[in-house]
Structure 1
């Protein structure tokens, strides 16, 4: 199979080089691209050219390519290797010979319009992807962030997420239908972006106005706590020791069951910005408290209110790390439920405040085939000593050691 992957603008009829034109007239070449690509290039294709529209999901298109093991001319937007179809095709057809003829991608076009030094930007694609890459760029205090959008993660939903989690310290520069007659480039505050109208496709840059401190190891007194119960929160020394013991930097999805004020969830997100954090709490008043704390410290997370034992968890990404912060007298029932969704090789962290709760947790872990990792005991000021315990779930019939260093 020979693949010629050609990058073009989404908005203007391309002028092909002689080298590209040679690839377009070969016998038996089949062509593919988006519907808009076809409109732009159809007049330059051979008469009776065979064309396949590339749509999502890609499986039917990839199967058609497997069935025709010949020459393909594939049209893509901008640079096909810049978060584009070229990467997918190289992965799916590793034995194919590939030629790539790129043009400017949309973020380059926008940077040229704005005279931005885009080589210094942190590049994030939200096109069909989750939020974590943007979370990381924000938590890491990146001064210039380049963002590829889609029809779900639009400029307005991006602005809403940033404001929700305290990142009002950026200006948005938006480019729409770049390269064509409907091109529009605008500077917007995040508040303006919430209600602005947008033309698709678009992309944007976020430029930082004020640097906010990177927080890890947050003093307890800075958290908003439950009214009248300021001590009902995992203390900083215990938080940090627990998350280190859980090897949280190498985890993907954390469920914080019994999140209370959200201190574990927030500290975990700041330690590992790519972590997908889900905080569960039954107390109704905790929703506002967790939201306020997450905004104050810039920790994007997902909050789930209500009783974890009866919640619908089918649509929530499955965890490879769970912290059991509270259990309301139902430890075994909650752990049983966690066990049904926890990934093989996943871990559960627990802070035991008494020998009874420690024994109960250890007994459940042993009876369910979990292996206890090295534990520690911490005493903070006048508070009771806390046992920091982590257990790991079997991975393919064996155990994984947790590197808590």
Structure 2
């Protein structure tokens, strides 16, 4: 089976002789509605057309059942987050040929004469904000953004402004390569008010060198009402996260997150991490959200309620957990964490007393956790804190 994927722009195609010959010899074709409008006059009279719509299982079935060669029309470059990648994955035994056109970000770069090779591409087309947030927190200076009908330039700009990332300008384009093409340069504040049309994409470029602050003094966080001392002290917080070696971890749970100081610091210092914050107090949800916005830490998932009662089946399993609070039920909370924690994962705990230190240590011994770090730290006039880190054994 051969699948040839031809990239086209949003204008009537000016096909090369090779492309025309392939089309005239073809029988089975696929593409979006707009593609069909653009290429219909070039198709043979007895051809069969399949509209590409979600879910794509209909297209896969049609290709499989035909037992014949196909020509698929795509927008721009089919390998640029496009149908080409999908078809290669679904039909690994097929002979696939790609005949690309310029992709949308290339066209937009041409309009503004931008050195697009220096821009990191991030797609939000049917994707989460994980990679985008990581790029923002890391201080990425230049990004090319692919959008969809949910993650629009307006909603993306609003989110950036909510988290204090106002130091970018936007190079915007819609319907690129077509008769309704529009391009302009916008501030993020202007982008929130702009009348956008689909399809679109844009570039972001920083206008200054500002990056999020790391190593945040505890007095800068919004505290729980009347309980400012419940925030983990900055030196303790940074030392704990350092001893956890989070650069090699993927999913971080903060159990007993309180005001979110540990979650936020973990997110800012390790932006690749997926951070999940668990806290029993209802008022902590708003406090964590406000602190996250104040310190430019998007992407923290917050779960409010009794940790032991929470349904965790749909939450990504952690390979690193910080135990910040346990409500007098250390063994029960640790037992539950043990069930969630991936093999080889770690638990960190800051002990304020010999009793809590012994409780954590004895639980680790009973459950065959290997203590990897123990450090006694004293800050100013406060009582010394023992930082403990233990690792769950690998599966035998």
TM-score (norm 2): 0.89
| 1:189-200 correspondence to structure 2 within 5 Å | 189-200=187-198
- Give the conservation status (yes or no) of the 8 Å contact 1:233–1:260: yes
Q: Which runs of 4+ in 1 moved over 6 A?
A: none
Equivalence for 2:4: 4
Question: How far did residue 327 of structure 1 move?
Answer: 1.6
Q: Assess, with a 3 A threshold, how the Cα gap between structure 1 residues 373 and 161 changes in structure 2: closer, same or farther.
A: farther
Check whether the contact 1:372–1:389 (CA below 8 A) recurs between aligned residues: no
Aligned to 2:63: 65
Cα 1:362–1:282 change in 2 (3 A) is: same
Structure 2 partner of 1:244: 242
Which residue pairs with 1:358 in the alignment? 357
Partner SS for 1:280? strand
1:318-329 equivalences under 5 Å are: 318-329=317-328
Deviations 1:59-105 (A, max 9, x none): 34334434445422121111111111212222333343222111111
Residue 359 and residue 30 in structure 1: after superposition, are their counterparts in 2 closer, same or farther (change >3 A)? farther
Give yes or no for the alignment of 1:335 onto 2:334. Answer: yes
8 A Cα contact 1:377 1:385, kept in partner: no
Gapped regions of structure 1 (runs ≥ 5):
399-405
Structure-2 residue corresponding to 1:22: 21
Once residues 392 and 62 of structure 1 are traced to their aligned partners in structure 2, the CA distance between those partners, rounded to angstroms, is 45
CA distance in 1, matches of 2:330, 2:315: 21
Q: 1:250 offset after TM fit, Å?
A: 2.5
Q: Is the 8 A contact 2:370 2:392 kept in 1?
A: no
Equivalent position SS for 2:59: helix
Structure 2 CA distance, aligned partners of 1:152 and 1:312? 28
Distance of 1:196 and 1:337 partners within structure 2 = 48
Deviation at 1:363, TM superposition (A): 4.2
Find 1:276's aligned residue among 271, 274, 277: 274
Cα 1:118–1:141 change in 2 (3 A) is same
- Please, which of 124, 127, 141 is the counterpart of residue 125 of structure 2? 127
After TM superposition, the structure 1 = structure 2 runs for residues 256-295 of structure 1, keeping only pairs within 5 Å, are: 256-295=254-293
Q: Who is 1:389 aligned against? A: 388
Give the TM-score, by structure 1 length.
0.87
- Bigger shift: 269-278 or 226-235? 226-235
1:228-263 CA-to-partner distances (Å, cap 9, x unmatched) read 444322233332332233332222222212112322
Which has the higher mean CA deviation after the structures are superposed, 219-228 or 69-78? 219-228
Contact map agreement 2:169 2:204 (CA 8 A) in 1: yes
